[in-house]
Amino acid sequence: MLGRKNAVVRTKKYGKLLRFSIIFILVAAVAGAIAYGWQQYEETKYPEGTEKDYSLPDAFIEFAGLISDFMTQDEEDEEEPAEPAETKNKDEEDNVIIVGGDEEDPEVSEAEPEQEPEIRGGIVEKSDAQGFYDFRNSLFVGDYFISQAQSLGYFEHTKFAYATGLDMNTMLTKKVLKYEEEYLTLAGYVGKFEGVEAVYIMISAESVSWMDVPTFVKKYTAFVDDIIAAQPDAHIYIQPILPINEEKAKKRSYSVTNEKINQINSYLFSMAEEKSIWILDMHDEFLGGGSELPAEYTTNGIRFEKDTYEIWKDYVITHKAH
């Protein structure tokens, strides 16, 4: 539409310019002819050597100049008019490229920020001490070791599930815990608890019993898998098998040794990493600066004295990963 308007304006302009050009040429020709004729007449009128009066021819020449100026002024007046300010501004706005700006892309602004995946598994680092109430949604699972911790009054807000007098083999299969009208395995019993955020698996050297290292690791791994299946949403913690005092243990006919315990623990660390579960690396806390559990720390070489549980309690409350 704008192109057609410009074409019409140009056509009118050229038509008017052509008319004025023809008039200018005719006027200039007439003026020139009159001026030339008048000059010839003046040449014959005045005697040779006298001053001649060319006022009339000059007047015609000035008249021709006026005509020329008038034509030039009309031509300038006929220049194409400027576009309205509104149209010009619109075109300029169309050509403006805005970088940045306050408005956000709706799709970007509505998208939820990416959340970092929850870290689960590995050695638990030391942190500020937690109160017993902070473990109210935790469940401690194990053998005689856990029954002693409960009897001492530690973690009074925590849930407990344990089976005594069993080794790692019978702990997997024997139904010794009563729930309502049925008896369940320890792992089956663990599955009946609700609102559990963390399960702490704490097995002592007493449950190693007669088993060799591969057998115990196999049974222990199966037990951990059963606990994970029973509480799939909970954080899983394990503690390594804690050291013993071999001299006292031999007097009670225990065949387990610290060398065997160290071999088992190396597998447990690998298993924890593979299954993305937490491990409480507290074994060395009970060595007392030596290579085995000090005699004064234990009653029979394996079971802890009451005061020794203080070391265990202090470690647990200062190593909470979630």
Per residue in 199-215, pLDDT (tens digit) is: 999 999 999 978 999 99
User: Which residue, among 206, 77, 229, has the nearest Cα to 148 in the 3D structure?
Assistant: 206
**Domain 122-317, CATH:** 3.40.50.1110
Round to whole Å and give the CA distance between 303 and 292.
Answer: 13
Q: pLDDT at position 55, please? A: 52
Round to whole Å and give the CA distance between 255 and 264.
Answer: 14
Non-local (6+) Cβ contacts of 232 within 8 A are: none
**pTM of this prediction?**
0.65
pLDDT tens digits along 6-20: 554 455 555 666 666
Find out whether 237 and 199 touch, Cβ atoms under 8 Å: yes
Q: By mean pLDDT, which of 40-54, 182-196, 232-246 is the weakest?
A: 40-54
Q: pLDDT at position 27, please? A: 64
Residue with the two structure tokens 């040429």: 25
pLDDT tens digits along 104-137: 555 545 666 666 656 678 999 999 999 999 999 9
Q: Is the CA virtual torsion 66, 69, 73, 75 positive or negative?
A: positive
Residue 319 has pLDDT above 70, yes or no: yes
Percent of the chain predicted with pLDDT > 90:
59
Neighbours of 39 (CB within 10 A): 14
Q: pLDDT at position 120, please? A: 77
Q: In this predicted model, which residue has the larger pLDDT, 240 or 37?
A: 240
Q: pLDDT at position 20, please? A: 66
Q: pLDDT at position 42, please? A: 55
Q: Using 50, 70 and 90 to split pLDDT, how confident is the model at 320? A: very high
Mean pLDDT over 67-94 rounds to 50
Distances in Å between the alpha carbon of 314 and those of 139, 186, 268, 309, 311?
Answer: 17, 26, 22, 8, 5
Q: pLDDT at position 92, please? A: 47
pLDDT tens digits along 175-192: 999 999 999 999 999 999
**Helix (H/G/I), strand (E/B), else coil: 311:** helix
User: Which residue, among 259, 186, 172, has the nearest Cα to 219 in the 3D structure?
Assistant: 172
Crossing angle of helices 144-151 and 308-317, in 10° steps, is 90
Q: pLDDT at position 22, please? A: 75
Mean pLDDT over 88-93 rounds to 48
Residue 101 has pLDDT above 80, yes or no: no
Residue 90 has pLDDT above 60, yes or no: no
pLDDT tens digits along 260-297: 999 999 999 999 999 999 999 999 999 999 999 999 99
Mean pLDDT of the chain: 80
Indicate the DSSP class of residue 178: E
Q: pLDDT at position 259, please? A: 97
Strand locations in the chain (E): 122-123, 138-142, 159-162, 177-179, 182-184, 198-202, 235-238, 278-279
Round to whole Å and give the CA distance between 128 and 317.
Answer: 8
Mean pLDDT over 164-171 rounds to 90
Residue 41 has pLDDT above 70, yes or no: no
Residue 50 has pLDDT above 50, yes or no: no
Q: How far apart are the first and last CA of the chain?
A: 71
